[in-house]
Chain A
């Protein structure tokens, strides 16, 4: 089992006092400012993920990507396949924000918000509750199989599996209405594909968070590979202060480091033990580092123990470490050309998106010529063409629309002239259009369909169509 405890090398402790520190720091995993932030983010993201799908809105699920109806609901907004441009813009915004965040704060996303980090954190927590701290887990892994070990393992796997299944269920609940899904689960009438996707996503969660963990970040994540391109010497990263720490070495508590010819690093390896990717941050910036700041919390506790100032490992920038800057200088370097350009582009796109959504038409009409029926002559020298009008009410209220046709002298239509559509619904109406044979030229003629909202003439669509005369 590739958990982090078995990845880091076993450590031999030279100093009894440091062993104490180890006992205090590690068994309770990492505690500290950044650990607290990580847990806050775990709670926020997961409350959002597990909770949002249950929220009702206007009698439907507030956030639902209804694949079957081909409509996306996000609170009051309804997106149709015709709105795909918004989705594209949204993705661009997501990408740009990631660029911006990365340029300023390094891998903040990875350390605090990425589902991979968050689920690993939760799965690790379960593991820790059941199998104990790092050394207990290492012992358990090395121990021969006993009833106790089997029981611990089984409990862990069952809990992991339950959580993974719940995650899979929630995931599918964003694509098919979750309340219906819930009742179908309990009446054992879940469709084959829904079951497939619940298990598929659940299995992925289990595999990624339970077993692969840091390997996902190191070998599978595309972002980890190109984030380096967004870094510059003013990007905040988790950094070990080399000048202050070296030469490292074990020592007793007491004398000032300089007086015994040592730096501040007591070489306790605790920063390595808490690291979820198992690297040694003292070797400098590495692409494996997900910026979780666990090593900052850990080393700060060691520094406290030793009576040294905190921050031997800290959030800092390359320039700041070189120039021994404080926070004031670091912040004053945030507004640099790269950041300003990223922000400007980002705001421009966001404003365009909001404008587009606000001005989204509330009525849409697609005119489709009936493929099966071409033009045909009917009684009294009239020619008939058949159309299907796909009327989409994008608004959040029930609406009635009037359909009229124009473009040729004497043109008229048969069929429903009034369509009534509930909120955010669509309907295809079949319309037979008739016109006198001599009203137009042989071949195709341009006609127009007008669909108007009865209560507000301004909401109207003027659609072109072709009328064939044989």
Chain B
């Protein structure tokens, strides 16, 4: 089972928190990696929040190709951060020659404004550019591009999370990188042929998502999604499907968030029939039958406005717990992960999302909960 850790804080926190949570939850041998999306950044990137930030790991040739492409498209570098690394012998992880965390300026004419949220044109360009970069880098395996979005940084590594932390000096509480929202995930044991693109959290157009479990309708989801949007690609992991569905419901259909739960874990017909909106729900179910997940899963997501949500599967087959202490909401797939960071909280106030529940934590750390 993947273990997940999500942190939402009023002040920027370092990734060490997430790493510590991971180790608390680790069982058995573990070297299949660590992946993390950080949003609402502090630290080195705090001043460049509105400039698209490229997160990429690649070879020299890959870097060259990517830079060429970005230049061709009219992007120009604004700020580049080269992380200091500790290259000790014996670190167990698959290193890439270059790690790029770089802010860019939009090309003309989109560089006229840098709003808090990218404009529709800017969004479109960023998504298209990431897809192009991905394609360019995929030739001869020259690298991976994870996100290209303002105020979002992604790291995905394959190996022992402990060593990954050491290499990037992430055990340091005064790390160069801090964020108010961190979503992190480690897989354990099951997948030795994992590719970096398969590691969640995944990011698309302002939406971040990770999940722990098995999407038993992966094939149905994938076959349906691959025709819905050009960015719905890859499918290296069955969890990607949850992100694409969230994106589709919100961005493409413009439906309110509660319908995400109605789509991925529809109510039983018996329950639906008792409701006044049964007609709508039955149509939603018919049209989006192939986006149901129907397996054991907890889905954790971050919306473009920074709110973080948690949804469990309809049979509550995967655990997840949310704890709150002061300016910090910490959630994890196991309670020991939460205890690691906020041991002295009032555990009675912990939230274990129910099978019909959606939990949403906004930027003021107010928690909203509603039943499907």
Q: Do the two shown chains form a genuine complex with each other? A: no
B residues bordering A, Cβ < 8 Å?
none
Residues of A near any B CB (own CB < 8 A): none
